[in-house]
Amino acid sequence: MGLKECHALQSLNLDGNYFPLHIEQLWELPKSIQHLSVNNVSSRETTNTARVLLQGLNRYCNLKTLNLENTLDSDVDEVRASGKNLKLDAKLVELRIGSNTNICDIAQAVIENNHELKTLHCQENTVDLKFLGILVENMRQCQLVDLNLSSIKLHKLCGAGLLSEGLKHCPQMKIINLSTNELDSNDFQLLSEGIQTCKHLVKLNLSDNIMDSEGATCLAKGINHFCEIKSIYLEKNIIGSNGAAAMMEALKSSIYLECVQLQFNRIGPEGASAVADWITSTSKRHPKQNSCFLRTLNLADNQIYMNGTAVLAGALQFCKNLHFLDMSNNKIDSESADGLACGLQRCTQLHILCLDYNNFDGESAIILTEGLKYCQSLKTLSLLGNKIGTTDLAGMAERLKHVHIKTLYLKKREEHLRQELMDQMSVPIDVAV
């Protein structure tokens, strides 16, 4: 029995397929389809794929979710012309159309006819101000909860202010992704006015922009007193110590925060202290478990040094739920090993620890592993680029033998280390060097 005879079929996922026949046959599907995903699909037809694909969509008046990501990258003019003829006046709730060439006309047609839209992903596309204008106008009517506009050159479009106006009508918004848009402090000053309306925000991704301390301070005012946020991504900006302090102070109401990504931000020892203060303050809000909810903390490449590490080490005792910690490339020296090991003893749920390219020697590595012997969940320990020699392996192996570690990263280009440590461990281990 072919798919066209499955009259009750409601969901179909064709992601990553290569159609053996003409793409027209896709539209022999039953009209009962409500959920369709054609993500990263190529066809034997190369000249009219987008036209046939988009025209066929008009058959499905029951569609609720549609995924066309990385599928319409054939011909810009073809996509644009076909998009203008797209009716799709269904009650669409979710549209994912990222990573294509030019989706303005398609997205506009869908947005204008679907006021129940809750999820819209248009990342990595070429859009224009007309598209943003239509999106903002319809944000007044639809109930968007998940918006992904990553990598659409929002700064060059001067679209931050326009988008901010739309966000003011979205108090129900839960997920916002505006990463990789070259947004600067002026953009964040505008955006913070709209973001502050989204008090139910759960995930905010503003990574890989040009946010400095001024921009971070403006954003902090926007998210102040947000209680439901669980994940915040600010990596690859330049917020500095003042920006980090402002952000962590604003997040003190976010007692359920699980993921903090601050790598590559030059936050320094003062910024690290602000993170530690947030951890300590939040843990006090949960007196029964005496711990924050933090599961992921990435502070790599932040010039934390010894002073910042010492303060953070003291706060780690309140991170009993921590699964991932990255403090690589922070010029942390051997003198910090004792304090760090003491803090890590309490992180019993830790799965991955990265301390690459610091200044640990063999003795301090042994001290660190002494603390890690209590981390029974540890799967990966990365100490690349530190001064650890073969004579230190026995001490490390002795302390790690009761830990269920799977991968240990040490120095590069020293293949003999791999077999030596494997021989000394009581369980099989993949030692990457």
Domain total for the chain? 2
pLDDT > 90? residue 240 = yes
* pLDDT for 184: 97
> Which position has the higher pLDDT, 27 or 235?
235
User: What pLDDT, on a 0 to 100 scale, did the predictor assign at position 270?
Assistant: 98
Q: Could you say which of 92, 111, 144 is where a domain stops?
A: 144
H helices present in 97-239, as ranges: 104-113, 129-139, 160-167, 185-195, 213-223
Per residue in 153-210, pLDDT (tens digit) is: 999 999 999 999 999 999 999 999 999 999 999 999 999 999 999 999 999 999 999 9
- Which helix H or strand E contains 407, and what residues bound it? strand 407-409
* pLDDT value of residue 427: 46
Banded model confidence at residue 283, pLDDT cuts 50, 70, 90: very high
Asked if 111 and 85 count as a contact pair (C-beta separation under 8 A), the reply is: no
Q: 144, 163, 198: which is the final residue of a domain?
A: 144
Split at pLDDT 50, 70, 90, the class of 290 is confident
* Tokens 């926007």, located at residue: 222
Give a yes or no: residue 279 inside a domain: no
* pTM assigned to the model: 0.88
CA distance 163 to 143: 15
What CATH code is carried by the domain that includes residue 398? 3.80.10.10
* Residue 406 within any structural domain of the chain: yes
> End of a domain among 144, 176, 194?
144
The answer to whether the CB of 39 falls within 8 A of the CB of 68 is yes
Of the candidates 220, 268, 274, the one whose C-alpha atom is nearest the C-alpha of residue 245 is: 274
Question: What's the distance, CA 110 to chain centroid?
Answer: 26
Tell me the percentage of the chain whose pLDDT exceeds 90: 50
Which secondary structure element, helix H or strand E, spans residue 420, and what is its range?
Answer: helix 415-424
What's residue 100's pLDDT? 72
**Considering only 95-99, 222-226, 302-306, 328-332, which range has the smallest mean pLDDT?**
95-99
Residue 433: per-residue pLDDT: 46
Lowest-confidence pick of 15-19, 50-54, 253-257, 395-399: 15-19
d(CA 180, CA 238): 13
Q: Spell out where 226-322 has E strands.
A: 231-233, 259-261, 296-298
Question: For residue 395, what are the domain limits?
Answer: 333-433
Confidence category of residue 46, pLDDT binned at 50, 70, 90: very low
* Residue closest to 183 by CA, chosen among 160, 162, 201, 149: 160
Please give the full DSSP string across 55-99, using - where no structure is assigned. Answer: HHHTT-TT--EEE-TTT--S-HHHHHHHHHT----S---EEE--S
* Mean pLDDT on 406-428: 60
167 domain residue, yes or no: no
Per the rule left: phi > 0, alpha: psi between -120 and 50, beta: everything else, 375 is beta
Question: pLDDT tens digits, residue range 113-153?
Answer: 777 889 999 898 888 888 899 889 888 888 899 999 999 99
Band of pLDDT at residue 373, cut at 50, 70 and 90: confident
Helix and strand element counts for the chain (H, E): 14, 18
* Percent of the chain residues topping a pLDDT of 70: 74
- Compute φ and ψ for 187, nearest 5 degrees: -65, -40
Q: Is residue 270 part of a domain?
A: no
Positive or negative, the CA dihedral 216, 322, 280, 264 is negative
Do the beta carbons of residue 175 and residue 162 sit within 8 Å? no
pLDDT confidence band for 391 (50 / 70 / 90): confident
pLDDT tens sequence across 20-37: 445 555 566 666 566 665
| Alpha-carbon 379 to chain mean position | 21
pLDDT at residue 49 tops 50: yes
Q: Are 252 and 225 in contact (CB under 8 A)?
A: no
Q: What are phi and psi of 103, to 5 degrees?
A: -115, 15
Dihedral of alpha carbons 161, 163, 165, 171, sign: negative
| 44 has pLDDT over 80 | no
Which residues have a Cβ under 8 Å from the Cβ of 209 and sit 6 or more positions away? 178, 179, 180, 181, 182, 183, 184, 187, 236, 237
Closest CA to 118 of 98, 102, 138, 137: 138
Mean local confidence (pLDDT), 246-266:
96
- What pLDDT sits at residue 1? 41
Rounded average pLDDT over 344-353? 94
Is the pLDDT score of 85 beyond 60? no
Closest CA to 202 of 154, 252, 259, 286: 259
- Residues 226-232: what's their mean pLDDT? 95
Residue 13 lies in a domain: yes
Judge whether 328 lies within some domain: no
Is the CB of residue 120 less than 8 Å from the CB of residue 148? yes
Mean pLDDT of the chain: 82
Q: Considering the domain boundaries, does residue 284 fall inside one?
A: no
